[in-house]
Amino acid sequence: MGDLEQDAGWGFETRAVHAGQEPDAASGAVVTPITLSTTFAHEGVGNHKGFEYSRSGNPTRAALETCVASLEGARHGFAFASGLAAEDNVLRVLHQGDRILLGNDAYGGTFRLISKVWEPLGFPWSAMDLTDIDGLAASWPADTKMVWLETPTNPLLTCVDIEAIAALAHDRGALVVVDNTFATPYLQQPLALGADIVVHSATKYLGGHSDVVGGFVALNDDTLADRIRFTQNAAGAIPAPFDCYLVLRGVKTLAIRMERHCANARAIVELLLGHPAVDRVLYPQLPDHPGHAAAAKQMRDFGGMVSFTLHETVARSGEASALEVVRHTELFTLAESLGAVESLIEHPGLMTHASVAGSPLQVPAALVRLSVGIESGADLVADLAQALDHLR
């Protein structure tokens, strides 16, 4: 499955609830059934209802693929067992010797996949500052065949101009992949801005409830889609039907969740900007933030992720201060991952981004990352304020 008709004319929220999710023809069930069957009856050889074997295609997965493709404004959508499985399948469109150009603060797992799995197979990579388009044009490696960008990035929330990168990359014969995990299709639609492929960790905002690991690929090009469809089936990193159901259920409320995530993030940013222990606040809405102009141009709102660094004092290093704060929040749970209803706090240097220590992607030791949830904003502000006050 995966050749998808868009539900032209419906708004985002309507497509989130209805695209690919018509009442079940057999029973009238309003909620997409979880089809566990691994195999599907043929009426005769070569004559079936669109499904043969569940690795190749499954009705619950097809509903999810139709829905999320529609939200990304894509003709094709493919669901995977994790975000990294989705990324791995996208990288398989390259040929040996093709260079991957990566933003210099990409997610650590993406960096690990490219540098530890793909590079030894003969795929060179370079990490570069994607916010500096002129610098990028001047130092562009000639063998680049794919630009891999996140915007906003994890964990520094740097934003890059998708339209400008796509124009440059296409001029130089490279594909542009956008990891849209942090923004979600509600806040940003990379394909409409010129990107070739969108990837997601569906584990985050798409699922939205910290109860499913999943990945997604969305794209328009029919030839590339045929290759992704082939590797989805041939390599087999598909999600289970129950996991597809959970992501589909999450996606129905994506728009209203994102609105609350953004509003709560704004309240947290205001607290951080006024707190003496805080050194830098990283949030794309702030006018001095790297890529603020790009974010303002291409995003509907600025997202639910907020990062900040702590001042070094005579009593404590910046890292010790960061560890003190993450130890004292009560509502913000100390945990990896992001994008779900509950608020999380973490120390990227020692947790999510430990794998990039010593590399060009190393993150500041005094950095704290927040995934701001959808709880009452006032409660979240009070919780973070009391944790910061331990530094006084």
Site for ligand PLP, rule CB under 6 A = 82-84, 107, 109-110, 150, 154, 179, 181-182, 201, 203, 213, 215
CA atoms within 13 A on the CB side of 172: 24
Measured in Å, how far apart are the chain's first and last C-alpha atoms? 57
How far apart, in Å, are the Cα atoms of 358 and each of 7, 309, 334, 354, 364?
47, 19, 24, 9, 11
**Which CB, 31 or 357, lies closer to ligand PLP?**
357
Q: Among this protein's residues, is 134 annotated catalytic?
A: no
CB of 381 to ligand PLP, least distance (A): 25
Are 196 and 76 spatial neighbours (Cβ–Cβ below 8 Å)? no
Annotated catalytic residue within 88, 98, 179, 383: 179
**Which CB, 92 or 170, lies closer to ligand PLP?**
92
- Give the pair of three-digit tokens for residue 325: 């704060």
φ/ψ of 16, rounded to 5, equals: -60, -35
Annotated catalytic residue within 75, 98, 99, 107: 107
Please calculate the CA angle 282-287-135 and round it to the nearest 5 degrees.
85
- Give the amino acid at 309: T
Report the distance separating Cα 278 and Cα 155, nearest Å: 17
Q: Among this protein's residues, is 279 annotated catalytic?
A: no
**Which CB, 150 or 161, lies closer to ligand PLP?**
150
Q: Among this protein's residues, is 186 annotated catalytic?
A: no
Residue 80: partners with Cβ closer than 8 Å, 6 or more residues away: 86, 89, 214, 215, 216, 217, 232, 237, 238, 239
- Give the pair of three-digit tokens for residue 281: 């606040």
Annotated catalytic residue within 55, 172, 227, 300: 55
Are 239 and 61 spatial neighbours (Cβ–Cβ below 8 Å)? yes
CB of 321 to ligand PLP, least distance (A): 24
Which residue is nearest to ligand PLP, using beta carbons?
A: 83
Annotated catalytic residue within 15, 75, 145, 204: 204
CB of 313 to ligand PLP, least distance (A): 31
CB of 114 to ligand PLP, least distance (A): 12
**Which CB, 201 or 309, lies closer to ligand PLP?**
201
CB of 311 to ligand PLP, least distance (A): 27
Q: Among this protein's residues, is 179 annotated catalytic?
A: yes
**Which CB, 67 or 213, lies closer to ligand PLP?**
213
What is the DSSP secondary structure assignment for residue 33, as one 8-state letter? Answer: P
Which residues are the active-site residues?
Answer: 55, 107, 179, 204
